[in-house]
Amino acid sequence: MISVVKYLISEAMDNIVEHANVSNGWIMVQNYPNKGFLDICILDTGLGLLGSYKAFDVAGINTDIDALEQAINGNSTKQITETRGYGIDTSRRMLVDGLKGKYFLFSGSAFYIYTNELEQITPLNRNVKWTGTMLALRVPNSVPVGFDYTAYLE
Amino acid sequence: MMKQIINIQEYLPTTITSRDAIEVLKSRLDVVDCSSFVFNFSGIDFVSRAFADELLHYIKNNNFSVEFENTNKNVAEILKAVNKNRSKRNSSFHKIAVTQFKRKEELNNFLSLI
């Protein structure tokens, strides 16, 4: 389980370093042993997903919804596309499909949520926005039988 | 040609999370006299996918002959998975439903149920 948490955090933090164009970010962690999960929030006040795509002149991505959908599909802003862009997609599947946790990604005026019950992108009123990227992960304390995080590695 | 052993633990923390960490190792490689390297992962507990990707990319670009030694299970699995998938990419596009809430109360209610 520690390796999974390290994987999830490392991918998110590396995205800040690689894409946010800021010198710092924040991580907040709260354990809820009685409720059976760990909440992790990693955020920055950088370019945001849309801003990052725009900074790298990636064509066809014009809204926060587009940017979320592309990021989740592993469309990296970097040129070496065959080996980049795995982080978000792998992390969300590892957490939700594998661990039965919950994944929340908020950037600009839209958020993406993925749980075992639902998956959707929700646009918000333009006045409601996060200037940067905010990732919230709910990690169950117990690992489902048969779960092997390496099966999700790409 | 000489073979250089790089004891990663001497230069990087036990948990390596950043793609940029490769820069530290690059500065330690004697690329003038060596093209064969042993990366000793003794004491390294975890490497991120991003670091593994960057390391493998650097090795391939420079045509180095490399051995990985003392990798624990986590490190070995990540290096193996990243290396295996370097040339094959799932290009299928995953379309995601977009759901908008007209009223703030609807949004609040939705979020409270997650």
Q: What ipTM was assigned to the predicted interfaces of this complex?
A: 0.80
pLDDT digits (tens, 9 = 90+) for B38-53: 999 999 999 998 899 9
Cβ B37 vs Cβ B29: under 8 Å? yes
Interface touch B97/A120, C-beta < 8 Å: yes
- Residue B90 binned pLDDT confidence (cut-offs 50, 70, 90): low
Question: Alpha helix (H) ranges present in chain B?
Answer: 22-26, 49-62, 73-84, 104-113
Instruction: Write out pLDDT tens, residues B66-78.
Output: 999 999 998 998 9
**CA dihedral sign, ordered B16, A42, A15, A139:** positive
CATH 3.30.750 fits B2-113, yes or no: yes
Q: Which two tokens stand for residue A73?
A: 């599909």
> Domain coordinates of chain A in residue numbers?
2-143
- Between chain A and chain B, the number of residue pairs with CB atoms below 8 A apart is 95
Pairing between strand A37-44 and A130-140? antiparallel
Return the residue matching tokens 């490497």.
B47
Query: Looking at beta carbons, which residues of chain B come within 8 Å of A3?
Result: 46, 74
| CB distance A65 to B98 below 8 Å | yes
User: Is the model's pLDDT at B13 over the cut of 60?
Assistant: yes
The percentage of residues in chain B with a pLDDT greater than 70, rounded to a whole number, is: 94
Residues of A in contact with B46 (CB under 8 A): 3, 6-7, 10
User: pTM of the prediction?
Assistant: 0.83
Asked if the C-beta of A151 comes within 8 angstroms of chain B's C-beta atoms, the answer is no
pLDDT at residue B14 is higher than 90: yes
Give SS3 for B33.
coil
In chain A, which stretches have pLDDT less than 70?
76-86
- The pLDDT assigned to A81 comes to 46
Residues of B with CB below 8 A from A96's CB? none
pLDDT of the residue at A64: 95
How far apart are the two ends of chain B, measured CA to CA in Å? 60
**What are the structural domain ranges in chain B?**
2-113
Average pLDDT over chain B reads 87
Tokens for A46, please give them: 């950088």
Chain A: nearest CA to B2, how far in angstroms? 30
Residues in chain A with CB shorter than 8 Å from the CB of B48 are 6-7, 10-11, 14
Helix (H, G, I), strand (E, B) or coil at A111: strand
What pLDDT, on the 0 to 100 scale, is given for residue A86?
63
The four Cα atoms A144, A145, A149, A151 give a dihedral, to 10 degrees, of -130
What confidence score (pLDDT) does residue B32 get?
A: 77
Q: Quick check: A35 contacting B, CB < 8 Å?
A: no
Instruction: Kindly state the tokens that stand for A113.
Output: 């949520």
Which of A39, A93, A100, A153 has the highest number of chain B CBs within 10 A, making it the mutation to test binding with B?
Answer: A153
What pLDDT does residue A20 have?
A: 86
Of 3.40.50.150, 3.40.50.300, 3.30.565.10, 3.20.20.70, the CATH number of A2-143 is 3.30.565.10
Which whole number is the average pLDDT over B49-67? 90
